Amino acid sequence: MHVVANRLEEMPLFPLHAVLFPHSQMHLHVFERRYREMIRHCLEYDTPFGIVLIRSGSEVGAAADPYLVGTAVRIVRAQEFGDGRMDIVVQGERRFRIRELDETRPYLVGKVEPLVESEALTQETKELFTQAKNIFKLFVEQVLRRQEVSIDISLPGDDPVSLSFAIASLLPLENLEKQRLLETTSTSERVEDLLPRLQEQLLSSGEEQSYYRVRASDLASLFLPN
């Protein structure tokens, strides 16, 4: 069901050569004047902005052409330097789909609607979720053990959607693969796609390159210590 135009949410957009999933964190160094203005606005009014993958164009300079599905993020930490540059940490909250683009302001603004899952949780999905959750916990434990970090972990809730995005954020996937997973509205389809990749990472745990993109710090926003 489409959302009528007067109910669309207006959201500042930050096009990047990166995909951020809900519940994950990202560090950003903000140096362009237009994005510094955008971040100050979001901080002042405690509003989110959207991270979208660039379809064509550059992160710097002229406005880039973004993919139409992105992730709304909230600023959880910000540091401004004397010359105006900023370091910020953002937390992914929810997905959105862009319905209109406004290029009349210094930074890109989208009129967006929520992107939600399109299926109910079936018994088959629950079993698939349980299997993925068990394998993911083993994977996380091996990452921590390999890096000599000792901590009991509790995975983020019993929500298959959150778990699927947690898995996707840690696997070594190309941006276009990540974007496809972000746009997918079927939980079972997303988990079915990720499960063999996760199993491959687990089975190859003895190889150094298996965790070349995963550090203990990458897990901080995905699990809570007991």
For residue 209, give the 3-state DSSP assignment.
helix
Phi, psi of 15 (to 5 degrees): -70, 130
Question: Which one is predicted more confidently, 28 or 210?
Answer: 28
d(C-alpha 108, C-alpha 191), whole Å: 33
Is a pLDDT exceeding 60 seen at residue 156? Answer: no
- Render pLDDT for 75-124 as a digit per residue (tens, 0 to 9): 999 999 999 999 999 999 999 999 999 999 999 999 999 999 987 777 77
Residue 130: HSE in the Cβ half-sphere, 13 Å Cα cutoff: 7
HEC letters along 137-201: HHHHHHHHHHCCCCCCEECCCCCHHHHHHHHHHHCCCCHHHHHHHHHCCCHHHHHHHHHHHHHHH
Q: Which of 116-120, 148-152, 192-196 has the lowest mean pLDDT?
A: 148-152
Burial class (CB in 10 A: 0-12, 13-18, 19+), 220: exposed
Superfamily of domain 5-114, CATH level 4: LON domain-like (2.30.130.40)
As given in the structure block, the two tokens for residue 157 are 């809730």
d(C-alpha 222, C-alpha 166), whole Å: 6
CB 156 within 8 A of CB 132: no
The pTM assigned to this predicted structure is 0.84
Range with top average pLDDT, 58-62, 136-140, 217-221: 136-140
d(C-alpha 111, C-alpha 101), whole Å: 6
Residues of the chain with CATH 2.30.130.40: 5-114
